[in-house]
Structure 1
Amino acid sequence: MNFRNARSGAAVAALTMSFVGVNFAAQAHSAPLHTPTTRAVTTKASSGWIAERLINVRSLGTSCGKTPIAEASGRGKMTLRIDQTESVSTSLSANINVTKGVVSAGVGWDVTKSRSITVSGSKEVPSGKYGTLKAYAKYSGKKFDAQGTNGGSWMTVGHNQTAYKPIGVCFKYSQR
């Protein structure tokens, strides 16, 4: 292969696949500086693959959940207060075709565990108004591609998969 004329991504992918194909316990990866972080994880798989890995692991930043985990409402003048602890689960793409252990190793946290989130907040409701304070889980996310092999070439078995872990709380206040 002429590496001088090959595009950097294709050359690295070809080189990585030839090294990893030799020994399934090996981990070999490299990425050009301008591409997202690549985190290859190779393991003996229980999902039907001889080995599986995550590639192109990249951060999605933070976002708020869509379903409230706590809520308080009332007519003012009053203070709405939420003080409680909730167990919030990790969120994964629906059809991830690699084991959760590989996903956990690739994203950097245990995707099978729920986390305990303390919800504590308050908001003054003005006199004559009706206020609602809602708390939502705040998540940190990662996006990745999943690959598996049965001894030959690596096959993509999931593109743009996601994993989110709860890291805190977002509040939304409305009044009428």
Structure 2
Amino acid sequence: METRAVNPGPAGTTEAYWVQNAHRIGQSCGTGLLSQTSGYGKTTLVLTVEKSVAATVTKEIGVDYKAISAGMGWSVTNSYTVKNETRYEVPAGKWGSVQAFPLYDVYLGDVYRMFGSDTGKDVYAYKPVGVCFNSWNQ
């Protein structure tokens, strides 16, 4: 049996929406810097990250977050703890840096009218699941 989460439309309307066909479409590194370290080589940079990161949503139509969460199968309003560690060898005479960013599982869902058809609009939900590292030297 399929569960449909409802969202009342804006005041004065009778439109309600639900999310269907939600599925994971891949992963993406976020742009919000979680942590960083740098140093002059020869050295080993170690970066350990354990942070709480909020899930995020991009929507093309006014769907309620409860309806999105129900359609996705996980809470899009929660924060999730991500944790990882990396080591980076900086060569002698070079300046090295390591940065950490959140890694998200990306989900896509179709928005339907409660008593109608597909709106043709999509909802993207980003669930924090890990850490992306970016390292370099110069």
**TM-score of the superposed pair, with normalisation by structure 1:** 0.67
The answer to whether the Cα contact below 8 Å between 1:41 and 1:102 also exists between their aligned partners in 2 is no
Structure 2 residue 43 is matched with structure 1 residue 78: yes
The answer to whether the Cα contact below 8 Å between 2:61 and 2:121 also exists between their aligned partners in 1 is no
Change beyond 3 A, Cα 1:84–1:93? same
2:32 aligns to what? Answer: 67
CA deviation after TM superposition for structure 1 residue 41, in Å = 4.2
- AA in 1 matched with 2:25: L
1:113 aligns to what? Answer: 78
Unaligned 5+ runs, structure 1 = 1-26, 28-39
Unaligned 5+ runs, structure 2 = none
The answer to whether the Cα contact below 8 Å between 1:98 and 1:148 also exists between their aligned partners in 2 is no
Instruction: Looking at secondary structure, tell me which structure has more strand per residue.
Output: 2
- Structure 1 residue corresponding to 2:101, chosen from 109, 133, 136: 136
Change beyond 3 A, Cα 1:113–1:96? farther
Instruction: Looking at secondary structure, tell me which structure has more helix per residue.
Output: 1
The answer to whether the Cα contact below 8 Å between 2:5 and 2:71 also exists between their aligned partners in 1 is no
Following the alignment from structure 2 to structure 1, what is the Cα–Cα distance between the partners of residues 77 and 69?
A: 8
Which secondary structure does the structure 1 equivalent of 2:32 belong to?
strand
The CA RMSD measured in Å over matched residues stands at: 2.2
Larger of the two Rg values belongs to structure: 1
Aligned residues: percent identity? 32
Structure 2 residue 126 is matched with structure 1 residue 164: yes
Instruction: Write out per-residue CA displacement over residues 84-125 of structure 1, whole angstroms, 9 at most, x where no aligned residue.
Output: 421111110055412111111111110010111224222111
Following the alignment from structure 2 to structure 1, what is the Cα–Cα distance between the partners of residues 76 and 57?
A: 8
Which secondary structure does the structure 1 equivalent of 2:20 belong to?
strand
Larger RCO, structure (CA 8 Å, separation 6 or more): 2
The answer to whether the Cα contact below 8 Å between 1:53 and 1:148 also exists between their aligned partners in 2 is yes
Following the alignment from structure 2 to structure 1, what is the Cα–Cα distance between the partners of residues 17 and 127?
A: 22
Which secondary structure does the structure 2 equivalent of 1:93 belong to?
strand
- AA in 1 matched with 2:99: K
